[in-house]
Chains A and B, each alone.
Chain A
Amino acid sequence: MTSVAPLRFENVSLPGLRDGRFSLDVPAHSATSVIGKATTGVNALGAIALGLVNSGSGRALLYGEVVSEMPRHEALAFRRKVGYLPAGDGLLQNLTLRDNIALPLRFGSEFSERETNSRVSLMLSLFGIDEVSERRPAVATEEQRRRAALARALAFDPALVILEQFFDGLTPRAGALLLDLALGGVSAEGSRRALLITGQYLPDRLKPRIEHTYRIAGGLLSPDD
């Protein structure tokens, strides 16, 4: 199946790096990972894509649009088309895991409270955190927090999901489970999501499940063997 890449980086240089530019397509219905040391600026890729951070040069096209050039309120609305799991999970500490997952639905959708609750309950079961749903992030384990953050990122069932430092701190088994949930439809290629996974670490056992893997160093991107 061929389709336009939902996310494209064109001649991008990462913030704080003088040298090195690269281009990258994140194809639809497949997983792409970019791995590198923290000092390479790899963690800024997701934020550049969403227009949260400006790249040193070049541009990031999200569904053909440059989000960083949009008026602020349009950029905010546009970002709801994308699932985003930031580094460190970004869960709100004063909300329970359930309320964290419900937040984007309550704030940005026309769902009634009943519809939101039913959707959130379904996601809690799917992500295996229904028994700890009333806990706040501070008293949940790292894996439970990552599950909740991923469920929140997928709340709108987006076609593209950006996952920062996704595997860091997870066992390969937990990583594999969450990767499958993030990808979505296993049997029907058309229903699979496009994933951009960034971070310092990609478990060897999971490499075969990710179609495109790259390594970044010195501001340059190369396929990872």
Chain B
Amino acid sequence: MRAVAQLGAMARFFFGALSSWRRLPKPGRRVTFKILVKQVWFTALQAIPIVIVLAAILSFLLISRAVQELGRLGATELIGRLMVIAIVGELGPLITALIVTGRSGTAISAELATNKVMGEINALEGMGIEPAQYLVLPRLGGAIISVFGLIIVFDLVSIIAGLVAASLNGMATARYFEIVLASLSFKDAWLTVAKGIVFGMIVGTVPSFHGLSVGNAATEVPVAASRGVVVSILSIFLASGLFVVVS
């Protein structure tokens, strides 16, 4: 029952933040946009190296083993499905969202919780600045753009690393691209886009919600940070499961 109430509160929080965009004063849009750009810098651009490394290692290992094993069975064309379904469709969005949660979800929760404890939220409201517009909206937008962008990076690197792995195991480049592209459907592409948006929404909303839910004690900051990340991870896995069911 408590979990349902929490989910409802989080949904209200998300739609409240989203609808606050309509009432954002024109000069405020400039400020919010600048913060959004900073968020994308911290969340996406600084995370690119780790995403590249993880995508390359994962894809290289998986495709190397697959080429060897499937080659024995004479079913190397299944590498394409493996690449598209397992890496591009499932692991790419999931691992990327988890990386962003670990790096930025913690930061968002801790930062907003500190804002609350230090009386900064009260001060913003006293100055006539809506905290949802100034604090939540750019983080939400930044998270969506970042997760989406990083998923594309992950997928591209995975395909290239898969190519290297396949080539080292005796597969021709043209054959590799032929079976990967043949396995890629319009539905797979749309699912990846949808996952990028939904996972980004989770990474932007859940840590912000938990960060702003603290009271006045500094001891609540680490608790909020931890709760924000744990609930985000859980939500990402649940959403990933829902995508499988729906698609």
Contacts and interface: CB of A to CB of B under 8 A. Distances in A.
Interface of A: 46-47, 50, 52, 72-73, 76-80, 84, 86-94, 103-104, 106-111, 152
Contacts of B120: 90-93
Contact of B129 (A72, A94, A107, A111): A107
Given A90-B123, A92-B120, A108-B128, 13 more contacts: A47-B122, A77-B128, A79-B126, A79-B127, A90-B124, A93-B120, A94-B111, A103-B31, A104-B127, A107-B134, A108-B127, A110-B27, A111-B27
A76 B128 contact: yes
Contacts of B187: none
A79 B128 contact: yes
B130 interface: yes
A72 B125 CA distance: 10
Given A73-B23, A76-B128, A88-B118, A107 B123 contact: no
23 contacts: A52-B126, A72-B130, A73-B130, A76-B128, A76-B130, A79-B127, A80-B127, A84-B123, A86-B119, A89-B123, A90-B124, A92-B123, A93-B114, A93-B115, A94-B111, A104-B127, A107-B25, A107-B31, A107-B127, A108-B28, A108-B128, A109-B27, A111-B27
A73 B125 CA distance: 10
Interface string B16-52: 0000000101111011000000000000000000000
A106 B118 contact: no
B126 A106 contact: no
Contacts of B28: 107-108
* Residue with the highest number of chain A CB atoms closer than 10 Å, among B25, B26, B27, B123: B123
Contacts, number: 81
B27 A108 contact: yes
The 5 A-B pairs of least Cβ separation, nearest first, read A90-B123, A84-B126, A80-B128, A79-B128, A107-B28
A97 to B, nearest CB: 14
A167 to B, nearest CB: 18
Interface in B72-121: 111, 114-115, 118-120
* Residue with the highest number of chain B CB atoms closer than 10 Å, among A50, A76, A109, A111: A76
A90 B23 CA distance: 24
A91 B123 CA distance: 8
Contacts of A111: 27
B105 to A, nearest CB: 17
Nearest to B132: A72
A195 to B, nearest CB: 15
A225 B129 CA distance: 38
Nearest to B114: A93
Contact of B122 (A76, A90, A104, A110): A90
A50 B129 contact: no
B35 to A, nearest CB: 10
Contacts of A50: 125-126
A168 to B, nearest CB: 14
Contacts of B126: 46-47, 50, 52, 79, 84, 86, 90
Contacts of B123: 84, 86, 89-92
A119 B119 CA distance: 26
A52 B119 CA distance: 12
Contacts of A108: 25, 27-28, 127-129
A152 B127 contact: yes
